[in-house]
Amino acid sequence: MKIREIENKSDWEGFLLGQNPNTFLHSWNYGVMQELLGEKVVRYGCFDGDRLIGVVLGVTVTARRGKFLFCPHGPIVVNNDSKIIELLILALKNFAHENGSAFLRISPLELQINTNIELYKKLGMRPAPMHMHAETMWVLDIKPSEEVLMQGMRKTTRNLVRRAERDGVKIRISRDINDLDLFEQVYKETADREKFVGFSKKYLEAEFSALNKDNHVFLAFAEYQGDIISTALITVYGNTGFYHQGASTRKHAKVPGAYLLQWEIIRELKRLGIQRYNFWGISDDPKHPWAGLSLFKQGFGGYREDYLHAQDLPLKPSYWLTYIIEQIRRKKRGY
């Protein structure tokens, strides 16, 4: 087996789209998005002869707390082969060293089970002080008919979907980047209201423009009496749709537009032939900032998937300063 850099998009995508589950965070266009944001990207493949059997994406992260190399939802390998994972992580480690990174951080798309925990421990990695992406996901199988999916909802959720329809809420799906301004206005309002640091407009523009190259993203708006009351940025990759960004306004707060919005997103994904809808992160902790949103997502039916916590490989002593800063930040956020 040999490791070499992959520079051909079709080779990368051809391999990734043949794996299960799918994740847009390791797609070629996600790397393009990071390049638009000024970060350096590396894509390695593991080859058995001429056959590609594993890939890994590395993205430099330049933050005030220090520079590090990040691998989102990877490595992706055939049969979850530990030897291939080890070789790809070694390649990332060498790249991180060469680029002056203080540490390597990996958020694996692997279940939180002892076998996977021991694998990363064996590679000299340790649990990161905080996560980079949601690690407990809520997923809905959307292959069944609309009637079956509707019956699988919590009764309250189903009633609120129907009430929004009766109230005259209209749902609009858009793939026009000019509509990103409308999304960003509601998103900023939500971040200010809920007191979280949202992604910048530059980040949202990079995400939309990069993923839209292959129709891997769309916007959804719930409108009532001419006002946008709820909105979402949905990414699509392989057989999965992802509720990656969402926002709402307090205007017309009693109108349940967010419920109809999610139902119409599911219907749009079904029309595209998508089989799974990943609602993104949830928490079972009633004191967690996501508690209310988690209850909302779970009302549509589905199941949870727990992924391995982010893993760090320290490369410089300065890593420990980052470790302390992130521990403090995590406690302040209530995670």
CATH code, 224? 3.40.630.30
Average pLDDT over residues 31-35: 97
195 and 259 share one domain: yes
95 and 174 share one domain: no
Range of weakest confidence among 21-30, 33-42, 235-244, 322-331:
322-331
Q: Which pLDDT score is estimated for 177?
A: 94
Please state, in angstroms and rounded to a whole number, the distance separating the CA atoms of residues 318 and 312: 13
Average pLDDT over residues 279-287: 90
Range of weakest confidence among 44-48, 247-251, 283-287, 326-330:
326-330
Q: How many domains does the chain have?
A: 2
Please state, in angstroms and rounded to a whole number, the distance separating the CA atoms of residues 122 and 126: 10
Q: Is the pLDDT of residue 69 over 80?
A: yes
83 and 156 share one domain: no
Q: Return the half-sphere exposure (C-beta side, CA atoms, 13 A cut-off) of residue 72.
A: 18
Please state, in angstroms and rounded to a whole number, the distance separating the CA atoms of residues 54 and 45: 6
pLDDT > 90: what percent of the chain?
A: 84
| pLDDT class of 335 with cuts at 50, 70, 90 | low
176 and 207 share one domain: yes
Q: Is the pLDDT of residue 14 over 90?
A: yes
Among 194, 199, 289, 201, smallest CA distance to 250 is for 194
Do the Cβ atoms of 105 and 132 come closer than 8 Å?
A: yes
Produce one character per residue of 87-107: b if its CB has 16 or more CB atoms within 10 Å, e if not: bbbebbbebbeeeebbbbbbb
List the structure tokens of 169. Answer: 């809420």
69 and 147 share one domain: no
Do the Cβ atoms of 306 and 113 come closer than 8 Å?
A: no
pLDDT > 70: what percent of the chain?
A: 99
Range of the domain at 196: 136-306
323 and 299 share one domain: no
Average pLDDT over residues 201-221: 96
For residue 111, count other CB atoms closer than 10 A to its CB: 13
Q: Which pLDDT score is estimated for 22?
A: 84
What is this structure's pTM?
Answer: 0.93
Average pLDDT over residues 185-199: 87
110 and 192 share one domain: no
287 and 317 share one domain: no
| pLDDT class of 284 with cuts at 50, 70, 90 | confident
Residue 172 pairs in a beta bridge with 221
112 and 170 share one domain: no
Tokens 């300063």 belong to 321
Q: Is the pLDDT of residue 137 over 80?
A: yes
Q: Which pLDDT score is estimated for 334?
A: 62
102 and 217 share one domain: no
Average pLDDT over residues 314-333: 85
Q: Which pLDDT score is estimated for 66?
A: 76
173 and 288 share one domain: yes
**What is the distance of C-alpha 204 from the center of its chain?**
13
Range of weakest confidence among 129-133, 248-252, 289-293:
289-293
Start-to-end CA span in the chain (Å):
40
17 and 155 share one domain: no
Please state, in angstroms and rounded to a whole number, the distance separating the CA atoms of residues 134 and 73: 11
List the structure tokens of 122. Answer: 């064996």
